[in-house]
């Protein structure tokens, strides 16, 4: 069965006071619409169409080409938005369509899957995902019939006193029989105060036609929360973070404090790892077991092996091996691989480089575009001078190489296994295996030069 998803993502960030599409605003570093797509795919629905608006190009750039797109050039309601995906729906006749809001990031794959199970079991033309909340003010109420099926959805402004007391609300997430949705869409009218086409009218049309509408209640009411203001977005961040930290702690991760801690939804952490305050773990980041992270560590789209220690450092799109010690104040830039048991210390920067196991780069060093072997030692102030103003070149350093302080390795250059380089040298030619390279001017002493110069 080729089920599909339509995600309503045409909203602008007007009430957020930002010049970007609302669905691209991040929750724990991940755009809201990406949360929604991840949940749909985890529930087994791969084919997706995003309904985008004026910021469509921006959404496409962020989400990519793994989904289809339809454009809602005028924002004339949720029903009108789904109408723009008619061709997409036609390609999925005979199946079922999941409709989701792109600014409701907390809806889980489990809730989506449970709703689909109810949808099939009850033979519904449409199944609404609902939630029971303490304060339903402002939400559409779910009015059920005597059998427990959906009778109608009543908006706050249209509800009478009894209906306002109903605590079950509409989440704006639905499962439709695709054929039933296609049948109802052209019949939706805009004879309302706003002159808009509402998707909830499709449910009413199906009910009038004698079709069954059901309701599946989310176990966690927080899942249906959306964000229309910065304050609501902050509330989503807090709720999402609490749930994620709880999940990691249940798996044996220790947080010594929550201040400044941010852990993204796609991050994995091995048991026994300790996360200290101020640490931000973002994107596709994976930590091994028994690591110590922080305080004030930032890791994005990176992998860290077992037992590694990372203090007050930034790691981007890179790999750090087992038992490595990083920081404080180390910056590992994209496309770097740091071997096991390496030590990178104060104010070391590594970019697009491979550092072999057991190598020590203790302080004040830049290693860019380099391939460094195992068990090397870099003294203070070493620089791989990889850029000539036009092109970048690589430096190759073999195993067991000792590089003294304040050495410049002018790429392209190779230092072979076991070589030593004297402090203060600027190396412009290859250094043979087990050799000592000295590349500095001979020291000259001029006796009494200072006194003579002052007298003159």
Both 45 and 169 in a single domain? yes
Catalytic annotation, pick one of 80, 331, 363, 429: 363
Which pairs with CB-CB distance under 8 Å and at least 24 residues apart come from 114-118? 114/216, 115/173, 115/175, 115/216, 116/3, 116/43, 116/175, 118/214, 118/216
Q: Is residue 385 part of a domain?
A: yes
* CA separation for the pair 325, 288 (Å, rounded): 14
Q: Is residue 447 part of a domain?
A: no
| pLDDT for res 194 | 79
Q: What is the largest CA-CA distance in the chain?
A: 110
State which residues of the chain have pLDDT below 50. Answer: none
Q: Is residue 234 part of a domain?
A: no
Instruction: Give the CATH number for residue 187.
Output: 3.90.550.10
Locus of tokens 């500095």: 440
Reported in sequence order, the residue ranges of 39-140 that DSSP labels E, i.e. its strands, are 47-52, 68-71, 96-101, 126-132
| pLDDT for res 386 | 96
Could you read off the pLDDT of 134-182 as tens digits, one per residue? 989 888 899 998 888 898 898 888 889 999 999 999 999 999 999 999 9
Within 13 Å of residue 89, how many CA atoms lie on the same side as its CB? 24
Spatial neighbors of 35 by CB under 8 A, at least 6 apart, are 27, 105, 106, 265
Spatial neighbors of 127 by CB under 8 A, at least 6 apart, are 115, 116, 118, 119, 174, 175, 213, 214, 215, 216
Instruction: Give the CATH number for residue 392.
Output: 2.160.10.10
CB-count exposure of residue 190 (10 Å: 0-12, 13-18, 19+)? middle
- Beta-bridged to residue 326, according to DSSP, are 310, 344
Task: Name the domain count of the chain.
Answer: 2
Both 220 and 319 in a single domain? no
Among 160, 192, 224, identify where a domain stops. Answer: 224
Both 75 and 219 in a single domain? yes
Show the CA angle centred on residue 171, arms to residues 32 and 134, nearest 5°. Answer: 110
Could you read off the pLDDT of 227-240 as tens digits, one per residue? 889 999 999 999 99
User: Residue 21 has what DSSP assignment?
Assistant: B
| pLDDT for res 203 | 94
Active site includes 119?
A: no
| pLDDT for res 432 | 98
- What range does the domain containing 159 cover? 4-224
* Number of Cβ atoms within 10 Å of the Cβ of 318: 22
Among 204, 224, 244, identify where a domain stops. Answer: 224
Spatial neighbors of 103 by CB under 8 A, at least 6 apart, are 11, 22, 23, 32, 33, 226, 227, 228
| pLDDT for res 453 | 86
| pLDDT for res 291 | 98
Both 17 and 162 in a single domain? yes
- Cβ distance 108 to 197 under 8 Å? no
* Number of Cβ atoms within 10 Å of the Cβ of 93: 11
Q: Is residue 274 part of a domain?
A: no
- Beta-bridged to residue 126, according to DSSP, are 176, 213
pTM above 0.75, yes or no: yes
Q: Is residue 107 part of a domain?
A: yes
């Amino acid at each position: 069965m080729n089920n599909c998803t339509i995600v309503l993502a045409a909203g602008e960030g007007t009430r957020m006071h930002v010049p970007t599409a609302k669905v691209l605003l991040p929750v724990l570093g991940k755009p809201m619409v990406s949360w929604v797509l991840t949940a749909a795919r985890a529930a087994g629905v791969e084919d997706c169409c995003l309904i985008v608006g004026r910021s469509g190009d921006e959404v496409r750039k962020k989400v990519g080409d793994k989904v289809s797109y339809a454009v809602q050039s005028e924002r004339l309601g949720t029903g009108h938005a789904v109408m723009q995906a008619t061709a997409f729906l036609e390609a999925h006749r005979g199946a079922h369509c999941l409709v989701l809001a792109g600014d409701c990031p907390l809806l889980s794959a489990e809730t989506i899957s449970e709703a689909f199970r109810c949808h099939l079991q009850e033979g519904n033309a449409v199944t609404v995902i609902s939630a029971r909340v303490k304060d339903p003010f402002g939400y559409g109420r779910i009015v059920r019939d005597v059998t427990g099926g959906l009778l109608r959805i009543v908006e706050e402004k249209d509800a009478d006193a009894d209906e306002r007391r109903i605590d079950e609300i509409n989440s704006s997430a639905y499962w439709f029989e695709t054929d039933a949705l296609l049948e109802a869409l052209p019949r939706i009218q805009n004879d309302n105060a706003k002159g808009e086409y509402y998707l909830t009218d499709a449910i009413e049309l199906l009910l009038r036609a004698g079709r069954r509408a059901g309701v599946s209640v989310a176990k966690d009411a927080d899942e249906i929360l959306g964000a229309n203001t910065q304050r609501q977005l902050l509330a989503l961040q807090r709720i999402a973070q609490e749930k994620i930290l709880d999940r990691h702690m249940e798996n044996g991760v220790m947080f010594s404090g929550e201040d400044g801690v941010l852990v993204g939804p796609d991050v994995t952490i091995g048991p026994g790892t300790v996360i200290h305050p101020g640490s931000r773990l973002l994107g596709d980041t994976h930590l091994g077991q028994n690591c110590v992270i922080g305080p004030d560590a930032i890791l994005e789209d990176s992998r860290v092996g077992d037992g590694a220690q990372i203090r007050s450092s930034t790691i981007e799109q890179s790999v750090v091996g087992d038992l490595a010690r990083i920081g404080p104040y180390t910056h590992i830039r994209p496309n770097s691989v740091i071997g096991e048991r390496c030590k990178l210390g104060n104010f070391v920067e590594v970019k697009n480089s491979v550092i072999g196991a057991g190598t020590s780069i203790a302080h004040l060093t830049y290693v860019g575009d380099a391939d460094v072997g195992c068990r090397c030692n870099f003294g203070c102030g070493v620089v791989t001078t990889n850029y000539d103003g036009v092109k970048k070149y690589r430096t190759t350093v073999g195993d067991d190489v000792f590089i003294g302080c304040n050495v410049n390795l002018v790429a392209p250059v190779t230092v072979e296994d076991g070589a030593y380089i004297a402090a203060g040298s600027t190396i412009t030619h290859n250094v043979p295996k087990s050799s000592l390279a000295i590349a500095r001017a001979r020291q000259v002493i001029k006796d009494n030069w200072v006194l003579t110069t002052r007298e003159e």
